[in-house]
């Protein structure tokens, strides 16, 4: 049986919403919701918060969770997770098979979504990285730069991720608009390889980790999910998520 580590990258200094990991939703800090939800997945071995902020570490430890202190230099969540992986494996003297990155601003994550994302890897050893993909509900979300849009090939592999609206809406009434849902399993060795690859132009322009994978010629398998999720990027998002979760 594969050993699975869940890593939740989180940082206090968000430019759009400073301090958001500890912003409260229904009385509980957002990162607490994420930790509780992902820890309930029966397919995982361990859940760790990866952060450069002592405030987050103190909170996670106060609820009985585990966190590791990472550098504050990382531009990409995937690179932060790679550093956390090295720390944990050296500390616990263990080597994981699959590392699942769940963003710390996804408080509506369900344990079943993690299982959905992992299952293709368990069935196909050639898959190195998976993303969940969900429906975009309306044009407002389609035009929102905080929503990462994705288009796929006929085999369900990502072709491009963008914060801009893709594909064009002209003559595409039969093509559904899709978004990245940030539950991302890596094979352990591929996460390490990812961090050894040079950052790429489109990765930087789009500010999307997965573009580094695509630009270096690797595939990203996209797996549909019907679960409703809504990431928190702004205070308005926080209010929206609180309404949905209540």
Return the structure tokens found at 166.
């893709």
Query: What average pLDDT score do residues 111-117 get?
Result: 95
Q: State residue 207's pLDDT score.
A: 95
Is the pLDDT score of 55 beyond 70?
A: yes
Return the structure tokens found at 113.
């979504």
Return the structure tokens found at 35.
């930790």
Is the pLDDT score of 48 beyond 60?
A: yes
More confident residue, 137 or 66: 66
Q: State residue 172's pLDDT score.
A: 54
Cα–Cα distance, 221 to 158 (Å, whole number):
6
In this structure, the strands spanning 28-29 and 24-25 are antiparallel
Q: Which domains does the chain have, with CATH numbers?
A: 4-245 (3.90.550.10)
Cα–Cα distance, 62 to 39 (Å, whole number):
16
Backbone angles phi, psi at 211, to 5 degrees: -65, -30
Give percent above pLDDT 70 in the chain. Answer: 97
The residues pairing with 37 across neighbouring beta strands, listed in sequence order, are none
Q: State residue 208's pLDDT score.
A: 97
Peptide bond into 125 cis (omega under 30): no
Cα–Cα distance, 237 to 244 (Å, whole number):
10
Q: State residue 170's pLDDT score.
A: 66
Mean pLDDT of the chain: 93
Cα–Cα distance, 7 to 51 (Å, whole number):
10
Q: Please name the residues in contact with 139: beta carbons below 8 A apart, sequence gap of 6 or more.
A: none
Task: Give residue-wise pLDDT tens across range 194-212.
Answer: 999 999 999 999 999 999 9
Please identify which residue in the block is written with the tokens 């918060």.
49
Is the pLDDT score of 175 beyond 80?
A: no
More confident residue, 224 or 230: 224
């Amino acid at each position: 049986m594969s050993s699975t580590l869940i890593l939740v990258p989180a940082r206090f200094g968000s430019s759009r919403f400073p301090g958001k990991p500890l912003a409260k939703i229904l009385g509980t800090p957002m990162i607490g919701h994420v930790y509780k939800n992902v820890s309930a997945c029966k397919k995982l071995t361990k859940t760790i918060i990866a952060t450069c902020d002592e405030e987050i570490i103190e909170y996670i430890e106060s609820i009985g969770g585990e966190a590791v202190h990472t550098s504050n230099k990382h531009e990409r969540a995937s690179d932060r997770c790679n550093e956390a992986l090295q720390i944990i494996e050296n500390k616990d003297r263990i080597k994981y098979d699959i590392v699942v990155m769940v963003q710390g601003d996804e408080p509506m994550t369900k344990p079943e979504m993690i299982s959905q994302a992992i299952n293709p890897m368990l069935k196909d050893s050639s898959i190195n990285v998976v993303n969940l993909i969900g429906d975009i509900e309306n044009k407002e979300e389609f035009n929102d730069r905080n929503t990462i849009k994705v288009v796929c090939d006929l085999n369900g592999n990502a072709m491009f991720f963008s914060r801009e609206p893709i594909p064009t809406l002209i003559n595409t009434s039969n093509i559904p608009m899709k978004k990245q849902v940030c539950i991302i399993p890596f094979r352990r060795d591929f996460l390490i390889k990812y961090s050894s690859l040079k950052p790429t132009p489109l990765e930087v322009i789009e500010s999307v980790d997965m573009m580094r994978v695509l630009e270096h010629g690797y595939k990203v398998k996209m797996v549909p999910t019907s679960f409703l999720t809504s990431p928190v990027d702004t205070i308005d998002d926080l209010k929206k998520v609180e309404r949905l979760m209540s």
